[in-house]
Amino acid sequence: MKNLVIAAMLVAFATSAALAADTVVLEAKNGNVTFNHKAHGEALKDCKICHGDATPGKIELDKDKAHALCKDCHTKGGQGPTKCGDCHKK
Ligand code: HEC
Ligand code: HEC
Ligand code: HEC
């Protein structure tokens, strides 16, 4: 399991070395979620949608907050994954 995770991380690094800081891996027991921060920022053109009015910074996510933020927008907007396995990858 540990080796699999490391292998996956190495692949992720190899394919996106220049973009490493642009994607964030949100850890979850049922499979980590890779969040493309840069793509979302560019597609949505508005930091406030997720960060509110304060200066954008780290967001503390848990299951409920993440599902409310991420899944709801994907569902309402008709874009982005809404199925468990499309976000959570083992
Ligand atoms: C749009 C992407 C997305 C979809 C779709 C999604 N999740 Fe999640 N889920 C997340 C994120 C992001 C987290 C939070 C990770 C963190 O705590 O930083 C999370 C957290 C969780 C956790 C908590 C894991 C832990 O380690 O505490 C569980 C359990 C979970 N999701 C189950 C599900 C199930 C079941 C479904 C389908 C019904 C689902 N998720 C669909 C993105 C998603
Ligand atoms: C779709 C939602 C979303 C949008 C849009 C978004 N962000 Fe974020 N941002 C996040 C999440 C989620 C995190 C927390 C990731 C983590 O847990 O490390 C974050 C983290 C950050 C951080 C902290 C990084 C760190 O590791 O400390 C900064 C700075 C930031 N965002 C800036 C921005 C700016 C500037 C924009 C607009 C161009 C933006 N964000 C748009 C969701 C978003
Ligand atoms: C305000 C709307 C909005 C929010 C909030 C949002 N997304 Fe998305 N997401 C989108 C849209 C629109 C797309 C499809 C356009 C694209 O691919 O850039 C997308 C695509 C995705 C994809 C598939 C394409 C890719 O970039 O890898 C993933 C995975 C994803 N989102 C995860 C997340 C997670 C995890 C969160 C919460 C931390 C989140 N999204 C929050 C709108 C949103």
Structure tokens, 74:
């994907």
| Pick from 28, 19, 24: nearest CA to 64 | 28
Is it the case that residue 28 has pLDDT exceeding 70? yes
Sorting pLDDT into bands at 50, 70 and 90, what band is 54? confident
Confidence of residue 63 (pLDDT cuts 50, 70, 90): very high
Does the C-beta of 47 come closer than 6 Å to ligand 2? yes
Which band of pLDDT confidence, cut at 50, 70 and 90, is reported for residue 58? confident
39 CB under 6 A from ligand 3? yes
- Does the structure show a pLDDT above 80 at 79? yes
Q: Is the pLDDT of residue 1 over 80?
A: no
| Residue pLDDT, tens place only, 41-51 | 998 988 999 99
Q: How far is Cα 17 from Cα 67, in angstroms, rounded to an integer?
A: 28
Best residue for ligand 2 mutational test, from 26, 27, 37, 59 (most atoms within 8 Å of Cβ)? 37
Overall average pLDDT of the 9-34 stretch: 71
Neighbours of 45 (CB within 10 A): 8
